[in-house]
Structure 1
Amino acid sequence: DKPKSMLEIAGKTILEWQISSLHNNRLTNINVVTGYKSSRMQAEGVFFHENKNYKKGSELHSLMEVPKKMGSGFVMLYSDILFEDHIMTKMLTCQEDIVLVVDNTIQYHAPEISKIQDFVVSKNKHQPTRRKISFVCENIISKIGAKLNPETATHEFIGLAKFTKTGAEQFLQTYEDCAKNYQGKFQEADDISKFKFTDLIQEMIDRGYVIHFLEIHKGWLEIHRKEDIELANHFLSNI
């Protein structure tokens, strides 16, 4: 009975693994927004911010607890993912204003019924490839969301993204406009009060902003079930 990021895997909590990856990429100004069982969150060298209304909103609302930390550009990652360091390293080399990391293995297996996945459709005709990750994020997202048809999806968003100063400004301005001026259903959300990160990204795409993606092939895990913990223990024990 603890926050998922406090689960211990291969000798460290999920949060500690994430902090290590950030530090290995010379990112040290780390802000963690807490929600469920906030008092049980512990880690050295990070700033904690509590979202007391976490039950009413989504991960986007938790992110918006720290808008002042985002203005000069930022990296966002979901609290339940683990990934190899090189993925973040390559993401940080991308020069585009907004870059989401996506995995192409969805093209090789059926979606997991028990898990909510954020599907992505590439704007350009996309050929599945296991080639090395490019340092230039030339690929552009046309659609993103959990309710997209998985059969037409080209990728899955893994919960890791990078925003430059310009990208952060565009992101924050779009959020403020939507939160202030919209009511009722919004993108995939039944109500604007519960819209998610992917809903806002889709809204930005609809408004003409270009959202790029960095393609990967495996090298990450989302901790969702007991089986994921067992897999992660094996995955990280070799690192």
Structure 2
Amino acid sequence: MKAVILAAGRGSRMKNETSDKPKCLIELMGRPLLHWQLDALHNGGVDEILVVRGYLAESLKGNFSTVDNPRWADSNMVETLRRASSWLEESPCVISYSDIAYRPGHVRAISECKSDIAITYDTGWEGLWKLRFENPLSDAETFREANGRLLEIGGRADSVDEIKGQYMGLLFITPRGWAVINGLLTELGQERVDKLDMTALLRLLLDRGVDIGAVPVEGGWVEADSMQDVRAYEAVLDQDDAWSHDWR
């Protein structure tokens, strides 16, 4: 199995912490985020990994393949994904954001999904968001699914009742699924693609009736969007070895 890590961004919310390194090299519990991802992917059954680089690309070298998004500063994550098109055309791929850490079991779970496009979502999201935000609804978005199929994602939520889980930044795409996605991106044109984030892409696909699998997991992952996140996770793990979102 193959995987693609989308690691082109700097991570503006990390502020000066990323002045000399990409966001994926921020350390969490003594290891760069990228190393947590590589280990989880390998232990989850992935044999080959492609890292899509951008900001300070030459700092990302290792036992993985690379391709660059030279327009990383002028585009969004969907354009970074498109730079992996040759891999996505050839083989089913797990797609991972580069600012998350997760258990190998989550990789295995999504790779076993029968849909051509699938995402994982965390049913135990609320505790994690309460740790990260004074008001979880300031960041959490609507999420609905039924019978393993995504129905709604990425809207503004007025109540936790509208949120059945939270998207984690872990996807699965087969060559057939990529053909559908790439056809849509070609139709949209470069200017719109440059502004498109992944959640917006998923919404567009749903609007067109495209089937998207939704794979539930409970805890066992984190998103490090800021140093405040990093410090919060490390503080919890210093006190609670049984924390529900421990990804190790």
Q: Using structure 1 for the length normalisation, give the TM-score.
A: 0.78
Residue 68 (structure 1) aligns with: 86
Superposed, 1:82-161 pairs within 5 Å as 82-106=101-125, 112=133, 117=139, 119-124=141-146, 138-145=147-154, 147-149=155-157, 151=159, 152-161=162-171
Task: Please identify which structure carries the higher helix content.
Answer: 2
**Deviation of residue 232 (structure 1)?**
4.5
Mapped to 2, the partners of 1:69 and 1:118 lie a distance apart of 32
Q: Establish whether residue 165 from structure 1 lines up as the match of residue 187 from structure 2.
A: no
Mapped to 1, the partners of 2:72 and 2:136 lie a distance apart of 23
When residues 214 and 24 of structure 1 are mapped into structure 2, their CA distance, relative to the original with a 3 A threshold, is same
For the Cα contact (< 8 Å) 1:115–1:224, is it kept in 2? no
For the Cα contact (< 8 Å) 2:78–2:194, is it kept in 1? no
Residue 208 (structure 1) aligns with: 209
For the Cα contact (< 8 Å) 1:117–1:156, is it kept in 2? no
Where does the alignment leave 5 or more consecutive residues of structure 1 unmatched?
A: 125-137, 184-190
Residue 134 (structure 1) aligns with: none
The residue type paired with residue 201 of structure 1 is: L
Mapped to 2, the partners of 1:213 and 1:55 lie a distance apart of 30
Mapped to 1, the partners of 2:137 and 2:226 lie a distance apart of 9
When residues 17 and 116 of structure 1 are mapped into structure 2, their CA distance, relative to the original with a 3 A threshold, is farther
- Deviations 1:65-122, CA, capped at 9 Å, x for gaps: 1211101221111010001111111112222221101112345666836998573422
The residue type paired with residue 220 of structure 1 is: W
Q: Establish whether residue 26 from structure 1 lines up as the match of residue 45 from structure 2.
A: yes
The residue type paired with residue 71 of structure 2 is: N
Give the number of equivalent residue pairs. Answer: 215
The residue type paired with residue 159 of structure 1 is: G
Mapped to 1, the partners of 2:158 and 2:123 lie a distance apart of 12
Q: Establish whether residue 53 from structure 1 lines up as the match of residue 65 from structure 2.
A: no
Mapped to 1, the partners of 2:194 and 2:71 lie a distance apart of 11
Where does the alignment leave 5 or more consecutive residues of structure 2 unmatched?
A: 1-18, 238-242
Mapped to 1, the partners of 2:110 and 2:49 lie a distance apart of 17
**Deviation of residue 64 (structure 1)?**
0.8
**Deviation of residue 34 (structure 1)?**
1.4
When residues 50 and 114 of structure 1 are mapped into structure 2, their CA distance, relative to the original with a 3 A threshold, is farther
Classify the secondary structure of the residue corresponding to 1:55: helix
Residue 240 (structure 2) aligns with: none
The residue type paired with residue 93 of structure 1 is: E
The residue type paired with residue 39 of structure 1 is: E
- Deviations 1:8-48, CA, capped at 9 Å, x for gaps: 23343211111111111231221111122222223x21112
